């Protein structure tokens, strides 16, 4: 049985996925989820394809073939091997499936590598996270995470909102584990995942110890509901080539006095330790490395679409069009250069592994949340009203008025059907509900851009700059 088939079979586990006010009995056959399920399965099957198997997998110490996101880079070349795997995975979905790839698998791997950093404060953490890492790795499970508290009144702590259980909070402890109640957002791709990791995204205060819990659950865990946003999926693949296959779905997790077994409770009542492992430099470098590879895939896709839009109507000879296309290429080449810089300037750390240089990765991440919205704006400018001047379905070109429509919708270098397909693809990327969601996602997936920019300023080593300025002023 292929990896994709095993994945699809695992989804039949009774998970409580809510859409439009009702539980979805089986997401594999539901029109809002079916297309994406098939896309994820196809990506998983690349691990069994002789052409890509060796690029995507490795043999573990237990003799299991596992995804390279779990591979611990003890040689510098291993970073390039991981990068190649991320590229193949991301290219298969044009960078659109942001959480189906290796980000959270890489984050879990990094927690495992860095686990001794909090062993003094949390002596059970290294053993527990190692066991969970091996379990997820050896069973080829997909991961997502939920860390944000519900947005109710952001001027107050979760404990000050009147109801102690708006955010996930420990209700009590039993011999079997902890009982938790409350909500966490946003589990990107949650309905499609095998496992979900839960921990506070921001640092909790000493007064919020009961909110400071780091644990993991299967997506089908009893007492856990996945509340989905409105579906952006389409069942018309020809007219909506992205929405029909890549609606990653976002979900809020609601915990209804769910019991989390002790072996899956990694940290509790310790805000400092959770923040320490989450903000560990190694963790950021290993996990965000995958993110930047995916960003390159996405910018390559937008640049390709922009270039084809211009070619299709013969406008590439105009200087202002060349300027717009060049800007798309600048974006792409800048992020590629930062990615290569992070890999070639990798450092061998105290844990005995190689990690990409973090500064170029953080720079690429912060540029990305400006670059991608700008790329969509450039596609709008390159197309103008062209994206709106298309028949409602491509099939109309083959209908009663087809002969006439093919005259009006042809391009400078292609026939009408090829051009309308391009315009439909462009609209799905730029103007559809899925496209709007992706613009919002790329702006905010890593947090408030103001805070992330400020964070880069605070963490940046400014002393060499100050020394240089001082030397030149005297």
Give the number of other CB atoms < 10 A from CB of residue 75.
Answer: 11
Residue ranges for the known binding site for FAD are 151-154, 188, 448-451
- Per-residue exposure over 34-59, b if at least 16 CB sit within 10 Å of its own CB, e if not: bbbbebbbebbbbbbeeebeebbbbe
Q: Are 257 and 286 in contact (CB under 8 A)?
A: no
Whole-angstrom Cα distance, residue 285 to residue 73?
A: 12
Question: What is the 3-state secondary structure of the chain?
Answer: CCHHHHHHHHCCCCCEEEECCEECCCCCCCCCCHHHHHHHHHHHHHHHCCCCHHHHEEECCCCCEEEHHHCCCCCHHHHHHHHHHHHHHHHCCCCCCCCCCCHHHHHHHHHHHCHHHHCCCCCCHHHHHHHHHHHHHHCCCCEEEECECCCCCCCCCHHHCCCCCCECEEEEECCCEEEEEEEEEEEECHHHCCEEEECCCCCCCHHHHHHCEEEEEECCCCCEEEEECCCCCCCCCCCCCCCCCCCCCEEEEEEEEEEEEHHHEEEECCHHHHHHHHCCHHHHHHHHHHHHHHHHHHHHHHHHHHHHHHHHCCCCCCHHHHHHHHHHHHHHHHHHHHHHHHHHCCEECCCCCEECCHHHHHHHHHHHHHHHHHHHHHHHHHHHHHHCCCCCCHHHHHCCCHHHHHHHCCCCCCCHHHHHHHHHHHHHHHCCHHHHHHHHHHHHCCCCHHHHHHHHHHHCCCHHHHHHHHHHHC
Residue among 192, 92, 215 at smallest CA distance from 143:
192
Residue ranges for the known binding site are 151-154, 188, 448-451
């Amino acid at each position: 049985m292929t990896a994709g088939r095993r994945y699809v079979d695992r989804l039949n586990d009774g998970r409580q996925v809510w859409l439009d006010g009702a539980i979805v009995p089986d997401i594999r056959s539901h029109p809002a989820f079916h297309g994406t399920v098939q896309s994820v399965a196809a990506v998983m099957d690349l691990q069994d394809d002789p052409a890509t198997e060796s690029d995507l997998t490795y043999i573990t110490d237990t003799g299991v073939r596992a995804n390279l996101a779990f591979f611990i880079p003890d040689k510098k070349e291993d970073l390039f091997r991981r990068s190649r795997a991320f590229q193949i995975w991301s290219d298969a979905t044009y960078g659109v499936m942001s959480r189906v790839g290796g980000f959270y698998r890489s984050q879990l791997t990094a927690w495992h590598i860095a686990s001794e950093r909090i062993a003094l404060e949390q002596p059970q953490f290294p053993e527990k996270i190692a066991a969970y890492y091996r379990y997820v790795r050896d069973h080829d499970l997909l991961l997502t995470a939920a860390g944000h508290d519900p947005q109710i009144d952001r001027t107050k702590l979760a404990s000050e909102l009147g109801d102690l259980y708006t955010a996930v909070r420990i209700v009590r402890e039993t011999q079997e584990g902890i009982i938790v109640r409350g909500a966490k957002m946003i589990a990107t791709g949650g309905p499609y995942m095998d496992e979900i990791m839960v921990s506070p995204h921001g640092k909790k205060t000493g007064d919020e110890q009961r909110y400071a819990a780091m644990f993991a659950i299967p997506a089908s865990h009893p007492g856990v509901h996945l509340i989905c946003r409105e579906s952006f999926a389409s069942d018309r693949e020809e007219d909506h080539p992205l929405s029909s296959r890549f609606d990653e779905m976002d979900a809020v997790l609601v915990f209804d006095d769910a019991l989390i077994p002790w072996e899956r409770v990694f940290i509790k009542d310790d805000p400092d330790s959770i923040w320490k492992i989450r903000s560990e430099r190694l963790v950021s470098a290993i996990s965000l490395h995958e993110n930047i590879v995916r960003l390159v895939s996405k910018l390559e896709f937008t640049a390709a679409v922009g270039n084809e839009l211009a070619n299709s109507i013969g406008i590439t000879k105009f200087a202002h069009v060349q300027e717009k296309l060049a800007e798309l290429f600048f974006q792409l080449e800048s992020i590629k250069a930062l990615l290569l810089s992070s890999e070639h300037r990798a450092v061998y750390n105290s844990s005995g592994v190689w990690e990409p240089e973090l500064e170029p990765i953080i720079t690429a991440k912060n540029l990305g949340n400006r670059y991608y919205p700008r790329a969509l704006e450039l596609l709008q400018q390159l197309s103008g009203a062209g994206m709106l001047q298309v028949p409602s379905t491509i099939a109309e070109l083959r209908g009663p008025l087809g002969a006439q429509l093919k005259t009006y919708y042809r391009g400078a270098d292609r026939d009408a059907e090829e051009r309308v397909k391009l315009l439909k693809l462009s609209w799905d990327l730029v103007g559809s509900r899925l496209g709007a969601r992706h613009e919002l996602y790329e702006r905010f997936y890593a947090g408030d851009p103001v805070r992330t920019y400020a964070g880069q300023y605070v963490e940046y080593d400014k002393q060499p700059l100050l020394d240089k300025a001082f030397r030149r002023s005297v």
